[in-house]
């Protein structure tokens, strides 16, 4: 059971990392193709983003797939991303063609590495969904620190929820909800008040971790 649990966790990591990188690559490659003749400088910048995203994805795949054979804990091999990397994540979202910004409210608290990674992956998956489904849009990532929780809000003003037969498609939302639940939190998704799509998560802070 422990081995199955670890493999499931690694599979989830692969989904989150690769889905984001590949989405950025597809958008950037399409943009480069459209302006290759008329604006070669923009095309080159887009292709550089594709190359960078591809290298990141390959490195992460090798690291995670290697764990399936070695049985080593990834936390002993390389630092995991966390809240400190979200600004860079938002920046990479801009290169994919979305107007994106980050808003932080409250006094940040010290959190465990697991919660740090959880928050990052929720933001990453929400941004991946926006890149794939929102169309030309503006997306805002909000991190709000309260006395006992971190509240994460990723909202866009794009096309709105993507549904098939009345339910959200794909496994990304289920994965985000599972991550939040593992830390005693909850996650809600749906249409925003002004259209678009919103992902809201509340992640409780351990009492001894609150500053």
Domain shared by 110 and 196, yes or no = yes
Domain shared by 89 and 139, yes or no = yes
What is the sign, positive or negative, of the torsion defined by CA atoms of 61, 66, 71, 73? negative
Domain shared by 15 and 32, yes or no = yes
Domain shared by 158 and 114, yes or no = yes
Domain shared by 110 and 201, yes or no = yes
pLDDT at residue 67, as a whole number: 57
pLDDT at residue 85, as a whole number: 92
pLDDT at residue 162, as a whole number: 56
Domain shared by 68 and 86, yes or no = no
Q: Are 189 and 199 in contact (CB under 8 A)?
A: yes
pLDDT at residue 209, as a whole number: 43
Boundary (domain end) residue, out of 78, 101, 129:
78
CATH code where residue 5 lies: 1.20.5
Boundary (domain end) residue, out of 15, 49, 78:
78
pLDDT at residue 76, as a whole number: 47
Domain shared by 64 and 87, yes or no = no
Domain shared by 172 and 121, yes or no = yes
Domain shared by 110 and 153, yes or no = yes
Q: Are 105 and 71 in contact (CB under 8 A)?
A: no
Domain shared by 86 and 62, yes or no = no
Boundary (domain end) residue, out of 78, 101, 130:
78
Burial (CB < 10 A; 0-12, 13-18, 19+), residue 38, is exposed
Domain shared by 61 and 98, yes or no = no
Domain shared by 96 and 198, yes or no = yes
CATH code where residue 107 lies: 3.30.565.10
pLDDT at residue 166, as a whole number: 40
Report the distance separating Cα 91 and Cα 101, nearest Å: 8
Q: Determine the structural domain holding residue 74 and report its residue range.
A: 1-78
pLDDT at residue 18, as a whole number: 74
Q: How many helices (H) and strands (E) does the chain have?
A: 5, 7
pLDDT at residue 200, as a whole number: 95
Per-residue pLDDT of the chain (211 residues; tens, 9 = 90+): 766 665 666 667 666 767 777 777 887 788 888 888 888 888 888 888 888 778 777 777 776 666 555 555 544 445 678 999 999 999 888 887 788 999 999 999 988 888 898 999 999 999 988 888 877 789 999 999 999 999 999 999 887 765 533 444 445 788 888 889 888 999 999 887 777 899 999 999 975 444 4
Q: Are 154 and 189 in contact (CB under 8 A)?
A: no
- When divided into structural domains, the chain yields a total of 2
């Amino acid at each position: 059971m422990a081995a199955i649990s670890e493999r499931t966790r690694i599979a989830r990591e692969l989904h989150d990392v690769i889905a984001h990188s590949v989405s950025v690559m597809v958008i950037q490659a399409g943009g480069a193709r459209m302006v290759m003749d008329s604006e070669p400088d923009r095309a080159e910048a887009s292709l550089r983003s594709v190359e960078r995203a591809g290298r990141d994805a390959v490195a992460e795949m090798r690291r995670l797939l290697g764990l399936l054979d070695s049985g080593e804990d990834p936390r002993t091999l390389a630092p995991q991303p966390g809240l400190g990397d979200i600004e860079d994540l938002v920046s990479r979202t801009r290169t994919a063609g979305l107007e994106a910004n980050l808003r932080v409210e409250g006094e940040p608290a010290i959190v465990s590495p697991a919660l740090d990674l959880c928050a990052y992956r929720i933001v990453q998956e929400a941004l991946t969904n926006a890149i794939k489904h929102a169309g030309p849009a503006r997306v805002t990532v909000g991190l709000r620190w309260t006395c006992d929780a971190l509240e994460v809000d990723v909202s866009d003003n794009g096309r709105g929820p993507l549904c098939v037969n009345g339910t959200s498609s794909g496994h990304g939302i289920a994965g985000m909800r599972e991550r939040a639940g593992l830390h005693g939190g909850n996650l809600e998704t749906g249409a925003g008040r002004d259209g678009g799509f919103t992902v809201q998560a509340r992640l409780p802070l351990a009492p001894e971790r609150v500053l």
